[in-house]
Amino acid sequence: MRNTGAIGMIAVSLLLGVAAMVVAGKWINQQVNIDASRIVVAAQDINVGTRLTPDLLKTIDWPSGSVPAGSFHEIEPLTSRVIKVNLHRGEPLLEAKLAPEGTAGGLSGAIPEGKRAITVRVNDVVGVAGFALPGNLVDILVNIKEDYKNPVSKIVLEQILVLAVAQDLGRDETKPKVVNAVTLEVTPEQAERLDLARSVGTLSLVLRNQIDKTSGLTAGVRTQDLLGAKVATVEAKPEEKKIIYKSAGVAKPSVEIIRGLEKTNAH
């Protein structure tokens, strides 16, 4: 009899335990349903400038206490909107990531208010061997030849965002792309400076670190800065050409006289 009573108590305890687990499970499910909201996220990776369609979006459960500001709960209001940043799969759609309503798709939708897009021609060298990709920051270097006598090379613009290379807006690839044109995001004033620079000299792109905000503007470099000497031509007889080389630390200038095919040095 005693064994029968003990077995009965164990059976009752087990039944009570199972009932408690069922009740707790239902309560947890109710709490999850109460505390979760559905928000719209990207169903796949989406490139900047893309016009949204329903197949690019989906809704998922998101904790109510951490719903991002500006998020959407339905897909329909987002149809035909244009995104102005790259979106990764599962990333929430926010108003701050969308271009204003009515914006056309493509590059124009990726240009912020107050900015402009300007395209410059490049080659495999000028384009940093194809490493200047959309989303990178570059400095603009111009080489100007002043009557081919005193050329100067100088940085004229800094921290310029690359919007596109050729016709590609994608920012997810890291493989170099050698193209013949790069589109840059600039202010109206920077657009004027860049347009003038490419009309008077040769442009080069200088790739910079994304988080480096230090200024690299300098006074520019001229030929004499490279050679470490000042070169002056002195008029001589018609059949002679006299060149004086002035170098720092030399007491007397070195004079080179050229007569036809003969060359002599004098001090």
**What is the layout of strands, in order, in the sheet containing 229-234?**
229-234, 240-247, 254-259, 262-266
* Residue among 160, 171, 55 at smallest CA distance from 107: 171
pLDDT of the residue at 185:
92
pLDDT in tens, 47-92: 888 889 999 999 998 888 888 888 999 999 888 888 888 888 999 9
pLDDT of the residue at 37:
82
Which residues does 116 contact at the CB level (< 8 Å), separation at least 6?
A: 185, 186, 187, 188, 191
Was domain 37-109 assigned CATH 1.10.3720.10? no
**Tokens read off for 143:** 């080489």
**Tokens read off for 104:** 């056309």
Q: What is the 3-state secondary structure (H, E, C) of 36-68?
A: EEEEEEECCCECCCCECCHHHEEEEEEEHHHCC
pLDDT of the residue at 25:
72
Q: What is the pLDDT along the chain (267 residues), one digit of tens a residue?
A: 556 666 767 776 777 777 778 777 776 666 555 567 889 999 998 888 888 999 999 999 888 888 888 899 999 988 888 888 888 899 999 988 888 887 777 777 778 888 999 988 876 556 666 677 888 899 988 888 866 567 888 888 999 998 888 766 665 566 666 677 888 999 999 999 999 988 888 888 888 887 888 887 787 887 777 776 554 544 545 555 545 545 444 445 555 555 555 555 555
Rounded to a whole number of angstroms, the distance between the first and last alpha carbons of the chain is: 130
CB 43 within 8 A of CB 75: no
Parallel, antiparallel or unpaired: strands 152-165 and 181-186: antiparallel
Which residues does 122 contact at the CB level (< 8 Å), separation at least 6?
A: 132, 179, 180, 181, 182, 203, 205
Task: Give the Cα separation of 259 and 210 in Å (integer).
Answer: 57
* 3-class state of residue 249 by DSSP: coil
49 backbone φψ class: left, alpha, beta (φ>0; ψ -120 to 50) = left
pLDDT of the residue at 248:
46
Which residues does 59 contact at the CB level (< 8 Å), separation at least 6?
A: 38, 39, 40, 41, 73, 74, 75
